[in-house]
Structure 1
Amino acid sequence: MTSSGEPEREGARPQQDDDDDRRSVRSMAVGSSKTPSTSLHPRAASGTTRTLPTPPDLASAFSRPSPSTRSASESTFSTSSGLQESSTTMPALPNPPPLAPSSSQPQHSSSPSISTANSSSNSISRYPTSSSSSNLRSGGPAPPTSSIRSSRSSRVEGGAQPSPKPIRKPVMPKQIKEPIVPWNHAGSTDVPVAKTSSLYCSLTPMYGFPPPVLKAHTSTLVGDKIYVIGGASSSKGGCFGGVATFNIHTMRWDQLKDVKGESPPPIRAHTSTAIGHTIWVFGGGDEMTYSADMFAFNTLTHTWSLPKLDPSSPQPVPRRAHSASFLAPSSLVIFGGGDGHTALNDTWIFDTSTLTWREIISPPARDENGEVGREGGDAVKRGPVPDRRGYHSGHVVDGKLVIFGGGNGQKTFDTVEVLDLKTKVWHNISPPPDPSRSRKRAYHAAMVIGNLLFVVGGHDSKQYQSDILCFDLRRKKWTTKHLAGNLYPGRGYHSSTFADGRIFILGGSDETTFFSDMWTIDLGASAGLAFLPPIMIHLD
């Protein structure tokens, strides 16, 4: 019985023993760490709670205990409140296999020993005290969760130690080898690496349902699809009468099955020009027929229509092998071609909003002094109208019609001539001929990208070419663009379309072979030309 008269509980220890224990714990803390320990419990200041010693190292506090210290660690443990509980025997759990070392985590000792505030102490601190907590808050190294689980599950009943499992190597991703460069028509894959300033040519992978092998057809970009209309077919012996589409992203061909309306007859050597979601098809023909009809194809509804024109208004003669260019906001500019009897050099504008034609008649050619000059004279600077021609290329740039190349059966041209649609005056902006390289072209394909006129393939009066020419419309001179990769076979009567930084070349012929392939010319660094502001062509 205690001094207060209360009966002494069974198992209770005298107060003196508690004081001795408290002094023993404090002495162990002083001997193990220089940092004074503080209590984690709010009642520690009142003397009702015991304080725990601060572990000198968090990493060692969570390491695996050795067999020599296992029996001591199994006997007692301290709670977070600092109160020592009665001796508790923990059930034995198997040791986990050692973790594979990682370069991103600190290396933990593989020795099965555990370090606490005092190696002779039979208690393990389950939670960090003030010094270790500040280390965590300051961004210091924290013990991995896997190590905590290992220390808690390391108490094995009976002390059985299973053999460690082999360390598992990290799974490495399968190496993706560099793709083989696109093949060329000769079958070689030994192609040098292209510079970023170069143009790169390769055979285009494609699948689906392509059109028949064609020449003298048209390819028109609307959205992300290229629409192929008309053209002479080698397999059927006539002209292609359907509409095929090529998706520039998926590389898939499809032939439209739900086409309706009044469609044009099978034609070739016609023109197709997109204005919005409508493709306007003019001229063309087959065999001995020539057309002057203007058809419209709606790419949204897949519907053909033949607008009714005023028969009393002037209209161009039937033709094919001409050029057609878009003139904002809703017009087409037609130049040249042939009517089956002779080549042409007239210029017409068709307004798609009013369905009317008007002809551009240029004034007489004049020399530098303003005098009327002779056609072909050396002193003529403005005018005359370009020579009659067909199978040339035409584009509207800065409100001016740019004509290049073409032929008339007797001559192949290499001149760049510009028609100012406001003054109706022609200007020849070609530089002097280069005797080292011929730039004559007919049956070619061309497009304007930024300030450059790209000319693809064609016939130079001697043979079909597989190169690309570039004319700078701002500086009025030819420039050189290196074409790397696998060159496409020389051809004419083909089509080319610029889309997504690439030029797509389809079909064509070299008089002996009809080509069914498609080639891609990646512009590389030159693709940024398409995003430059519209250029201005200054004429003298």
Structure 2
Amino acid sequence: MADSQNPQKSPDKATRPASRTNKAIRSQKIIQLSPSDTRPPNIPEEVEPPHVAPTRSHTPGHLSTKSQDRRKKASELALRQRSQSLSQNQKDAPSPSSSKSPSTRLPSTSENGRQTPKAENSLSPSTASNVPALPATSPDPRRPLNLRSTSAIASKPATASSPAPRTVTPAHRPPRGPHIPFPPLPDPKTAPDVEPAPASGMYWSRAPVSGASHTSLRAHTTTLVGSNIYVFGGCDARSCFNELYVMDADAFYFSCPYVCGDIPVPLRAMTCTAVGKKLIVFGGGDGPAYYNDVYVLDTVNFRWSKPKIAGDRQPSKRRAHTACLWRNGIYVFGGGDGVRALNDVWRLDVADTNKMSWKLISPPSSSSVEDKTKPKARGYHTANMVGSKLIIFGGSDGGECFRDVWVFDVETLTFSPVHIPISYPRLSHTATIVGSYLFVIGGHDGVEYSNEVLLLNLVTMVWDKRKIYGQPPKPRGYHGAVLHDSRLIVVGGFDGGEVFGDVQILELAVHAYYSQISHFSIDV
């Protein structure tokens, strides 16, 4: 299926303010969100299946001593004498007309010493009016300014020329946008009325973010390490990115750290898996480009590397796949290579991130014969690891939106279907393990985008819906979600017309919804 506009064929840092740690406050008054954009219902065209924070000055009072005051006075006296001497010399010396005036203005420069370019926009005025504003930045040969994201699961073989060769820069500093101050709290007198939430009720609210400005994103990755959420890559309405943002999950403070090393090219629909304090990025692509590269980011020194992977075989190029960690192995399932959807399973050995190796543990099904012993090929599904069981839900092959649930046992290397009487079709959603529940947020149901929250009880294997209070986010897919401090934090997304840059919080009312079953097994 071609990367086209046909919706039926393509579903598609960390400087924390030390003096303030903000948590979402459950309140009857919350911030009003803007009205939702609309889009004709159908499987989505993705389109996907299509500044560093200012440093704090710090001067402890106990450093001001008398000896230091004396040294300061002596230094000021020397400066005054030097200044008077220089002024006298300038009066005596003639000023030739060929010399430059001291008031000559130099070209505007950025903080790294380079001349600051003007902002560019390659879109026509009629198109640009619907595109979110981006911070001014110099042209990057790896980032086409007007590239539209398209299907990432299955498409016809490309007939155009191959994508431009990939380049790697030794270091990269993201464009610096304006610093975002902490937003003021809403006035209780003017805030909209919201139904009160009981202590046992889940509650939606919008996070009050601050710090470095960040781009609206879809098909990016959100990975939790400690209390920091690492947001990488993704795209907006016109371009794909390889920037890294770090959001403090307690203060909702964004930073954009300086990174160096073998930086990945702009990517979307890739996976990012935390292994200790390192992030393992695999696959992804943009437009006609699909990759099967593995990159490693050390979150301690923010250095990217591209290690050599041992073995003769490796997964095909793909995006819209999933990756889950279990016992020193990252298990990759499905995705699409631009020609067809996939349902193979690979294991990346990450016991030593400097000596990784691939192993095929479940080959793909033949395209000519339907294999009922494993899931249909798909992308934009979700996969979660519970013990040695990989829980696979939903997704799409570019034409159908799936509702089935499968379990892959990584020890026996076998798939098992889960028979659920009532289920819900979903693609481009998120799924997060909370106790013995699988929380599914948003996505596309084959007709329209959704903002529903579905709970799959992993003990009884039955779907459940619960009432959620507060003001829900706009329907969306291709977003990211992580669990931190009894909250599900949702970042970005896409509703078929608008790319989001907001951060939403789902308070889980942990005593009511976080199951007391902390140790359980899945038997299917």
> Contact conserved, 1:350 with 1:358, CA < 8 A, in 2?
yes
Matches within 5 A, 1:18-33: none
8 Å CA contact 1:322, 1:336 repeated in 2: yes
Per-residue deviation at 1:405? 0.5
1:442-521 correspondence to structure 2 within 5 Å: 442-521=427-506
Quick one: distance in 1 between partners of 2:26 and 2:505? 20
Find the residue that maps to 2:29 and give its secondary structure: coil
Find the aligned partners of 1:307 and 1:534 in 2 and give their Cα distance: 36
| Deviation of 1:525 (Å) | 2.7
Q: In structure 2, what is the equivalent of residue 247 of structure 1?
A: 248
Tell whether the 8 Å contact from 2:349 to 2:356 is kept in structure 1 after alignment.
yes
Verify: 1:419 aligned to 2:408, yes or no. Answer: yes
Secondary structure in 1 matching 2:469: strand
Deviation digits for residues 497-533 of structure 1, max 9, x if unmatched?
Answer: 1111111111111121111111100001358738853
Q: Deviations over 1:15-57 (max 9, x none)?
A: xxxxxxxxxxxxxxxxxxxxxxxxxxxxxxxxxxxxxxxxxxx
1:185 aligns with 2:33: yes
Q: What is the CA–CA distance in structure 2 between the aligned matches of 1:538 and 1:269, rounded to whole Å?
A: 31
C-alpha displacement of 1:396: 1.2
SS in 1 for 2:501: coil
String of CA shifts for 1:60-102, please: whole Å, max 9, x gaps: xxxxxxxxxxxxxxxxxxxxxxxxxxxxxxxxxxxxxxxxxxx
Whether the 8 Å contact between 2:28 and 2:195 is mirrored in structure 1 is no
Contact 2:223 2:231 in 1 (8 A): yes
Letter in 1 for 2:214: P
The Cα shift of 1:484 comes to 1.1
Measure how far apart 1:183 and its partner are.
2.4
Amino acid at match of 1:351: D
Q: CA deviation at 1:240?
A: 1.9
2:345 — aligned with what?
347
- Tell me the TM-score normalised to structure 1 length: 0.60
Cα offset, 1:211, TM superposition:
2.1
Q: Conserved in 1, the CA contact under 8 Å of 2:331 and 2:346? A: yes
The aligned amino acid for 1:448 is I
1:195 equivalent to 2:203? Answer no
| CA offset digits 1:466-487 (Å, max 9, x no partner) | 1111101111111222211101
Q: Distance in 2 between matches of 1:513 and 1:349?
A: 36
SS in 1 for 2:493: coil
Compared CA separation, residues 494 and 338, structure 1 to 2 (3 A): same
Q: What TM-score do the two structures reach when normalised by structure 2?
A: 0.62
Q: CA deviation at 1:490?
A: 0.2
SS of aligned partner of 1:457: strand
Relative to 1, partners in 2 of residues 1:212 and 1:527: Cα closer, same or farther, differing over 3 Å? Answer: farther
Q: Deviations over 1:234-265 (max 9, x none)?
A: 3xx322222101001121111012x1111111
The answer on 1:232 being equivalent to 2:235 is yes
Shift of 1:433: 3.0
What displacement does 1:362 show? 7.2
Residue 396 of structure 2 is matched in structure 1 by 407
Residue 7 of structure 1 is matched in structure 2 by none
> What's the counterpart of residue 53 of structure 1?
none
Matches of 1:363 and 1:320 in 2, distance apart? 16
Secondary structure of the residue aligned to 2:514 is helix
Q: Which one of the candidate residues 209, 212, 224 is aligned to 1:206?
A: 209
> CA separation in 2, counterparts of 1:521 and 1:269?
24
Quote how far apart the aligned CAs of 1:395 are.
Answer: 1.1
Aligned to 1:361: 362
Structure 2 counterpart SS, 1:214: coil
Is contact 1:242–1:256 with CA below 8 Å preserved after alignment? Answer: no
Deviation at residue 409 of structure 1 after TM alignment: 1.4
Which amino acid counterpart does residue 256 of structure 1 have in structure 2? P
1:522 maps to a residue whose letter is: E
Please tell me whether the aligned partners of residues 398 and 534 of structure 1 are also in contact (alpha carbons under 8 angstroms): no
Among all aligned residue pairs of Structure 1 and Structure 2, give the percentage whose two residues are the same amino acid: 35
For the residue of structure 2 that corresponds to 1:479, the secondary structure is strand
Q: Which residue of 2 aligns with 1:289?
A: 289
**Structure 2 CA distance, aligned partners of 1:180 and 1:527?**
20
Inter-partner Cα distance in structure 1 for 2:211 and 2:360 = 43
Please state how far the C-alpha of 1:452 moved relative to its aligned partner: 0.6
| Bigger-Rg structure (1/2) | 1
Q: How far, CA to CA, are the matches of 2:27 and 2:196 in structure 1?
A: 13
Query: Contact (CA 8 Å) 1:362, 1:385: kept in 2 or not?
Result: no
Q: Which amino acid aligns with 1:355?
A: M
CA contact (8 A) 1:393 1:403 kept: yes
Q: How does 1:48-197 map to 2 (within 5 A)?
A: 181-185=29-33, 189-197=192-200
Output the amino acid matched with 1:391: Y
Aligned residue in 2 for 1:174: none
Q: Which runs of 5+ in 1 are unaligned?
A: 1-176, 365-373, 377-382
1:385-431: CA deviations, max 9, x gaps? 10010000011112011100000111101111001112222111131
Q: Distance in 2 between matches of 1:387 and 1:443?
A: 16
Given that 1:337 and 1:344 are in contact with CA atoms closer than 8 Å, whether structure 2 keeps it comes out as: yes
What do residues 253-304 of structure 1 show as CA deviations (whole Å, max 9, x unaligned)? Answer: 11012x1111111100001110110010000001111110111101011111
Give the match for residue 329 of structure 2. 331
Amino acid paired to 1:271: T
Q: Is the 8 A contact 1:210 1:244 kept in 2?
A: no
SS in 1 for 2:421: coil
| Partner secondary structure for residue 357 of structure 1 | strand
Aligned ranges 1:351-390 → 2 under 5 Å: 351-353=349-351, 354-361=355-362, 384-390=373-379
Measure, in 1, the Cα distance between the counterparts of 2:278 and 2:296: 6
1:463 deviation in Å?
0.4
For the residues of structure 2 that align with 1:184 and 1:535, how far apart are their CA atoms?
Answer: 40
In structure 1, C-alpha distance between the alignment counterparts of 2:520 and 2:370, rounded to whole Å: 30
- Asked if 1:397 corresponds to 2:386, the answer is yes
Give me the whole-angstrom Cα distance separating, in 2, the residues matched to 1:526 and 1:518: 24
Distance in 1 between residues matched to 2:386 and 2:330, nearest whole Å: 13
Deviation at 1:186, TM superposition (A): 5.3
AA aligned opposite 1:199: M
Q: Which structure shows the bigger proportion of residues in helix conformation?
A: 1
Over aligned residues, Cα RMSD in angstroms?
Answer: 2.3
2:518 corresponds in structure 1 to 533
Give the Cα–Cα distance (whole angstroms) in 1 for the partners of residues 284 and 26 of structure 2.
46
Partner in structure 2 of residue 300 of structure 1? 300
Q: What does the per-residue CA deviation read over 1:421-475, in whole Å, with 9 as the maximum and x for residues that have no partner?
A: 12222111131136xxxx1100111111111111110000010001111101111
2:480, 2:414 → 1: CA distance? 30
Point out which structure has higher relative CO (alpha carbons under 8 A, 6+ apart). Answer: 2
What letter is aligned with 1:284? G
Contact 1:405 1:440 in 2 (8 A): yes
2:321 is the counterpart of 1:322: yes
